[in-house]
Structure 1
Amino acid sequence: MSLINTQIQPFTAQAYHQGKFVEVTEKSLLGHWSALVFYPADFTFVCPTELEDLADEYAEFLRIGVRIYGISTDTHFAHKAWADTSPAIAKVQYTLIGDPTGRLARAFDVMIEEEGLALRGSFVINPEGKIVLCEVHDNGIGRDAKELLRKVKAAQYVYNHPGEVCPAKWKDGNATLKPSLDLVGKI
């Protein structure tokens, strides 16, 4: 069953955010747009490249009202240690959630049970707490923050403009479509 248009499930997790330990719950994700970015583990290879890429684009995510949450099955203590030792992770200003029990990874269907790690999963949550984007990669395939940003902007556009949809390769400011009988077979 797809997670698209489902409500986020209740959870409580410990996280590391800008030098402090904080608690994050499903209520933390309400009232604004959120991007949950699952990754396998701290102190690895592809993960720091992705998190640094997100850090480089974070100001733009904030500008459009999106909070980012990086999530792995490490603890919030491991996230702090990683930020203290990695120049790439030291750039991260968004919240890093610890999921050592794998509860969140299972709720978002990205848990690799035999490894105790999460797949690379990206989820966009709208202000009402509904999942509107879900993308899962094999762990050998890194993601591009600009592509996630483009998709978030498309999700926001559709949310704010009922009756319109964004075609392939849509970018902010481009034309959209208004589905109708007149368009069938003409695109």
Structure 2
Amino acid sequence: MSLINTEVKPFKATAFQNGKFFDVTEASLKGKWSVVVFYPADFTFVCPTELEDLADNYDTFKALGVEIYSVSTDTHFAHKAWHDTSEAIKKVNYPMIGDPTGALTRNFDVMIEEEGLALRGTFLINPEGVIKLCEIHDNGIGRDAKELLRKVQAAQYVASHPGEVCPAKWKQGAATLKPSLDLVGKI
């Protein structure tokens, strides 16, 4: 069953952000757009490139009213240690959630059970706590923050313009479509 258009399941986890630890729950994701990015593990190879790319684009996400949450099955203590020792991760100012029990990772169906690690999963959650975008792929394939930004903008546009949809490669300001019988076979 797809997670699209389902509510985020209840959870409670501890995050590290800006030198502090704090609790995060499903309620923390409500009231704003949220991006939850799962990755396999701290102190690895592709993961820091992705988290740094998100950090480099964090201000743009924030300007769109979006909070980013990165999640791995490491502890929040490991996140702090990684943040303190990696030049790439020192740039991260968004919450880094620790999920050592794997409960959150399982809630989003990205747990690799035999490894105790997460797949690379990206989820966009609307202010009501409903998942609007879900991408899960192999751990050898890194993600691109700018492509995620484009998808966030498309989801926000569709949410604020009922009856309109965004075609392939849509970018903010480009034409959208209004599905109707008149369009069938004409695109």
Using the size of structure 1 for normalisation, the TM-score is: 1.00
1:177 aligns with 2:177: yes
1:106 aligns with 2:96: no
- The residue that corresponds to 1:137 in the other structure is 137
1:61 aligns with 2:61: yes
Deviation at 1:137, TM superposition (A): 1.1
- The residue that corresponds to 1:36 in the other structure is 36
After superposition, give the CA deviation of every residue in 1:30-80 in whole Å (9 maximum; x if it has no partner): 000000000000000000000000000000000000000000000000000
Unmatched tracts of structure 2, length 5 or more: none
Cα RMSD over matched residues? 0.3
- The residue that corresponds to 1:158 in the other structure is 158
Deviation at 1:104, TM superposition (A): 0.8
In the alignment, the residues of structure 1 paired with residue 149 and residue 103 of structure 2 have an alpha-carbon distance, to the nearest angstrom, of: 26
- Give percent identity, aligned residues only: 77
After superposition, give the CA deviation of every residue in 1:63-109 in whole Å (9 maximum; x if it has no partner): 00000000000000000000000010000000000000111111100
- The residue that corresponds to 2:7 in the other structure is 7
- The residue that corresponds to 1:70 in the other structure is 70
How many residue pairs match? The answer is 187
- The residue that corresponds to 2:86 in the other structure is 86
In the alignment, the residues of structure 1 paired with residue 120 and residue 73 of structure 2 have an alpha-carbon distance, to the nearest angstrom, of: 12
- The residue that corresponds to 1:117 in the other structure is 117
In the alignment, the residues of structure 1 paired with residue 186 and residue 79 of structure 2 have an alpha-carbon distance, to the nearest angstrom, of: 51
